[in-house]
Chains A and B, each alone.
Chain A
Amino acid sequence: MQGNLKLPIIVKRCAAVLLLVLMSAYAGASDGFINPAGPVAAALRDHLIFIVLVMMIVIVPLFIALPWTLWHYRIGNKKADYQPNWEFSWPLELLIWGLPVIIVGVLGWKLWEQTFELDPYKPLAATEPLLEVQAVSLDWKWVFIYPEQGIVSVNELMIVTGRPVRFRLTSGTVMQSFMIPRLGGQIYTMAGMVTQLNLMASEPGEFRGLNTQYNGMGFANQKFLARAVSQDEFDAWAASLRQSKPPLDQTAWAQLTKPSVLPAPQFFGSVADHFFAGVVAGFTGGGHHHLIKDGSEL
């Protein structure tokens, strides 16, 4: 079969484009950063779009030139110019080396700029004060400590809409990775070390959060709900926890650190000062020097 192949390839290509279109249509119903609910996720999405558009400059010509070439230079076409020893052309070389270099130059400049701009450790520009949350990843649950409020929530996160949140993260077990896709990117958590992530929700709502780094049998269940509410609702919630919920004492912590999947979120009304620092210090691994950047208290 040495005949016409142009049509089927085009059909396949259209299918790919269609899928991409459908994907964006699904954006409204999804959990991902392409449906952003905060400035970090929005910036990530915009950066993605920029990259795709710039790359089209090198990709689209191929998608046009290839089917044309296959059609024009097919063996059945005696009219086409056959030059079996043609192997070099300076102008073409300049183009095929030069264009990718320029593209990579442009993308590289943007990459540099955005990598610093969107460094997870970089505090967000905001008028509202910082909300501190300390997260400990366990098997298979997330423990969120609010050091300023003195409360703890497990598998549920409460933050304030419009306030930048600074996460300090560590792990109580294996390497894990914290992400709330609609708010921003992820960061690994590692025992004995502290990583940082700065996020903000610009609209109220409920967003799914998860662990992305496989850690065993309960990995698929290690999801939590992040709720962005008003400051008043947040304060009321914190107050109700302090009043009605038990303290996070040794017994409760021992129970939490057992590998298990919790049927529902848990809450604790009080927690010892520097509890998070204690969790970190409990591991005598060799990596902690790298990752506490600003020397602030944990």
Chain B
Amino acid sequence: MIETPGLFPYLTARENLEYYRIQRGNKDKGCVERALQFVGLEGTGRKKFKGFSLGMKQRLGLALAIMDNPEILILDEPINGLDPMGIKDFRSIILKMNREKKTTVLISSHILGELSQIATTYSFINSGRLVQHISAKDLKEKCRSFLCIVSDSADRTSEILKNNFQFKNIEVADEHTVHVNEKVDDPAPAVKALVENGVMVSQVYQSGINLEQYFVNLVEGKENG
């Protein structure tokens, strides 16, 4: 599916798909109805394509792409121009396709935030060159969130956290800053323990990078690790 779908405005959803079913020599007449049901357009009736919203048009384009039950589906900028509800619907259809039909979906998109919600593997391309190919798990690790504690003594802070909470994943960033990669959601007990042990805590905050920042760092030659 290439960007916005090109379909005949004077035909209905069914007629558009039927045209391509005939053209592709697909003898299974039920594939049209199944494709429409899968994307939630079975109730469009006699409504012509020109009367569809952008979200409906994108879904019909997707129905056309999946009509022949492909093993691999390539989508080029499929969610450009969609509103949040349209993006949510489109995302759920893609996930459903992968789950139920075991279809491998290759999505080309600049909307990195959306990709982060569905992709299992990422390929970063810059100026036509593949810069990195990485799994979602590894990428998450590289973009991980951590608790940043700024105090008067990073070494003392690190020692107290290790002794009192058995934290194993602690980085001393500099003489005043410690990064803790465990129990990020619950910093209060750690802060209390530090204060009770005489550590002057000046800042405590969550930190990390999102997919967009990761990509920017990557193409600018830096990588967060």
Do A and B actually bind?
no
A residues lining the B interface (CB < 8 Å): none
